[in-house]
Amino acid sequence: MTSTETALAVLGALLVGGALVSGIARRSFVSLTALFVLAGFALGTGGLGVLEFDPTGGFVSVPTGAPQDANNLGHIFGGVILSLMDKTAAISAFRHSRASVVTASIDRVDFREPIHLGDLVILKASVNFVGRTSMEIGVRVEAEELLTGRRRHTNSCYLTFVAVDLAGRPIEVPGLIPETLDEKRRYDAAKERRARRLEERQREDEQRVHRVAP
């Protein structure tokens, strides 16, 4: 790691630390923080590097290329991709709530196609639904072959985040008003998923009560 990379990684840690402690930040500051959060993560592992972040659309692209990030077939480990998805979604939730956020759940993830070493990984995040304290963030992952420009949709995932105060208690977040047809479609679908999650959680709680009952 060069001195420049080290400085970027350290600056990233300082920026995200300050943002999380304050729990609130201006739009430009959060965008910069998001860039350096990923830069610090990437440069710290030596495997991934930030190329681009679009503060308006939650768009992140990173090249993959470190042997430790892949298996013996040259396919990037699913855990590496999940980590990037979690970080990308957290940035989107952070920017919507302007507060510290924690990951509450990650829906099922199917890896449709492998992502190879050297591919450009593109992650696009969107806030699909907002409850009182929680937000569902959708993340779409694509892989681009740098030599040909061919892009493949490799997987998608829905993550739920909860905004919290400095004591870790859930706090209310701004509402979401879908405007375009695509936003309304995502909102309705996310609302149905949320209802199913609540039903599953209720069944699990009931089963837990039955198991511990004498």
Give per-residue pLDDT as tens, 174-189. Answer: 999 999 999 999 999 9
Domains of the chain (ranges; CATH) run: 3-176 (3.10.129.10)
pLDDT exceeds 70 at position 79: yes
Side-chain-side CA neighbours of residue 185 (13 Å) = 3
Closest CA to 86 of 115, 114, 106, 66: 106
Q: How far is CA 122 from CA 33, 61, 85, 90, in A?
A: 19, 4, 10, 16
Q: Residue 21 contacts by C-beta under 8 Å, 6 or more apart in sequence?
A: 166
Question: The whole model's pTM is what?
Answer: 0.70
Task: State the residue for tokens 């977040």.
Answer: 173
Give the model's pLDDT for residue 64.
Answer: 62
- What is the structure's pLDDT at 63? 63
Strands (E) across the chain are located at 52-54, 59-63, 100-106, 120-130, 134-144, 151-164
Q: Which residue has the higher pLDDT, 160 or 34?
A: 160
Residue-level pLDDT at 201: 81
What six digits make up the tokens of 176?
């979401």
Q: Are 64 and 121 in contact (CB under 8 A)?
A: yes
Answer yes or no: are the C-beta atoms of 137 and 127 closer than 8 Å: yes
- The predicted-structure confidence for 128-177, as pLDDT tens digits, reads as follows 999 999 999 999 999 999 899 999 999 999 999 999 999 999 999 999 99
Across the range 105-114, mean pLDDT stands at 91
Residue 59 has pLDDT above 90, yes or no: no
Q: What is the pLDDT of residue 20?
A: 36
pLDDT exceeds 90 at position 192: yes
| Nearest Cα to Cα of residue 198 among 138, 155, 126, 136 | 136
